[in-house]
Amino acid sequence: MTGSIGTADCGVDLSELAEAFDLPPLRVVEHRTGASGVWRLRTAHGDDLALSSRSAASPQVAAAISVASELERRAADAGLDLVPYLRPKHPFVGLAARIRDRLVLLHEWVDTIPDIPDDVPPAWLGGTVATLHSLWPVPDQKVQKHLARAYGIYPTSSWQRWIDDADQAGLSWASEVAASLAVIEEATRLSQSALDLDLPVVQSHRDLNPPNLLHTPTGYRLCDFGYAGPDIAWFEVVDAALACTSEPAATIEHYLAAGGKPGPRRVEALARTTSPMWLARTIAASLGFATASTPARGAAGAAIPEILLHLHHDIDTLDTTTATAFNL
């Protein structure tokens, strides 16, 4: 989508943005949709940049940006292949500047190679994740409650309450979630068993999926640290290996060879892949618990049936996927 110069397109005053990052005048080139949306800007000198912004009203948003920025800074200092970031003259939090009611981040725009399948080289992915996991260890006793929510661990009574709320609100997904309670309970049991293993916790990317591993003319680059936070290192690399390459077992071996710490080679290692977390978050958005707008609530509700299908598939194929991940 092509935009004009000014604030109407990206929600940020471009003259103030240029001043905040000490840049020449900017104009909007296009908008790329995604989890949060990225705006492509162009300076008067012809350099392209990627703009992302979030509301400055929430302390939770500022805290998340602080963690994400620190991890991204450490990753850059460690020499990982990233999309280069720009530092504001006067950071408000982390790498973000505040422009009125928005917290804004700028990165260089990176062109990607079109029509290339998402099949990241195992050596690159395994080595990158191993280095990432070495940067910021976390005492796991400090994050147990957070990890339980991050892995979608809720009692059956909570799921039933959400189903009842949805049914009363006339939301069509209520009956589908109700019919899937046994699968949700199995996924929850697996997540809890996995957390009980007490494996090393690190501050990490937490969104290592193909859209965030950019294939560029100079190789792959890791981008979008927006979901960064504490996670179990072993579960993240197994999930990334399955999601991003046709050779997950080789990726995991490269991870271990590069210094990544090993974990169990059994079904619990797939806890991140089979977690009901996204289902719980999407239900919360559909019911309005996450302060979602009316259109966002509708979109969340529409996504629930597909998320359920994926959850059923992940649980049904658990043994096969485990064998694939570890070449068993």
Mean residue pLDDT across the chain: 91
Q: Which of 322, 328, 132 is nearest to 213 (CA)?
A: 132
Strand order from edge to edge, sheet including 102-108: 26-32, 38-43, 48-55, 102-108, 97-99
Radius of gyration of the chain (CA): 21
Q: Percentage of the chain with pLDDT > 90?
A: 82
Q: How far apart are CA 51 and CA 191, in angstroms?
A: 35
CA distances (Å), origin 249, targets 188, 242, 263, 272, 320:
25, 9, 13, 16, 13
For residue 118, what is the DSSP state? S
Q: CA-to-CA distance for 162 and 125, rounded, in angstroms? A: 38
Residues 6+ apart with CB under 8 A from 260: 126, 129, 130, 133, 233, 237
Domain identity same for 146 and 272: yes
Has residue 73 got a pLDDT over 90?
yes
**How far is 277 from 211, CA to CA, in rounded Å?**
20
Give the pLDDT of residue 6: 37
9 or 215, greater pLDDT:
215
Q: What is the pLDDT of residues 25-43, one digit of tens each?
A: 999 988 875 545 789 999 9
What is the reported pLDDT for 33?
Answer: 59
Q: Quick check: helix, strand or coil at residue 107?
A: strand
Question: Residue 48 sits in which domain range?
Answer: 14-108
| CB atoms near residue 92 (< 10 Å) | 16
**Averaged pLDDT, 286-309:** 88
Same domain, 285 and 229: yes
pLDDT band (50, 70, 90) for residue 5: very low
pLDDT at 22: 97
In a domain, 2, yes or no: no
The enclosing domain of 104 has a CATH number of 3.30.200.20
Residue 293 has what pLDDT? 73
Residues 160 and 33 occupy one common structural domain: no
Which whole number is the average pLDDT over 69-91? 98
pLDDT band at 1 (very low <50, low <70, confident <90, very high): very low
Rounded-to-integer distance, Cα 328 and Cα 320, Å: 9
Band the pLDDT of 291: cuts 50, 70, 90: low
CA distance 7 to 203: 35
The predicted-structure confidence for 169-227, as pLDDT tens digits, reads as follows 999 999 999 999 999 999 999 999 999 998 999 999 999 999 899 999 999 999 999 99
In this structure, the chain runs to a length of: 328
Q: What is the model's pLDDT at position 10?
A: 80
Mark residue 123 as left, alpha or beta (left: phi above 0; alpha: psi -120 to 50; beta: remaining): alpha
Q: Is the pLDDT of residue 144 over 80?
A: no
The reply to whether 306 falls in a domain is yes
Do residues 11 and 2 touch, judged by C-beta distance below 8 A? no
Is the per-residue pLDDT at 116 higher than 80? Answer: no
Tens digit of each residue's pLDDT (9 = 90 or more) over 223-250: 999 999 999 999 999 999 999 999 999 9
Tell me whether residue 161 is in a domain: yes
pLDDT for res 302: 95
CB 270 within 8 A of CB 325: yes
Cβ(229)–Cβ(205) under 8 Å? no
Give CA–CA dist 218/319, Å, rounded: 37
Question: Of the residues 108, 142, 160, which one is the last residue of a structural domain?
Answer: 108
Say how many domains are in the chain. Answer: 2
3-state SS, residue 155: coil
Model pLDDT, residue 4: 35
Residue 60 falls within a domain, yes or no? yes
Residues 129 and 267 in one domain: yes
What mean pLDDT is predicted for residues 252-266?
Answer: 97
Same domain, 29 and 71: yes
In this predicted structure, what is the pLDDT of residue 115? Answer: 61
Within this chain, do residues 137 and 265 fall inside the same structural domain, yes or no? yes
Residue where a domain stops, chosen among 77, 108, 139: 108
Q: Are both 273 and 159 inside the same structural domain?
A: yes
Position with higher pLDDT, 290 vs 313: 313
- Residue 321 to residue 295: CA distance in whole angstroms: 36
Note whether residue 114 is domain-resident.
no
Q: At 8, list the tokens.
A: 């109407």
Q: What CATH number corresponds to the domain at position 300?
A: 3.90.1200
Q: What is the mean pLDDT of residues 153-168?
A: 97
Q: Are 287 and 174 in contact (CB under 8 A)?
A: no
Query: What letter represents residue 50's amino acid?
Result: A
pTM for this model (two decimals): 0.91
Contacts of residue 171, defined as CB under 8 A and 6 or more positions apart, other chains included, come to 286, 287, 301
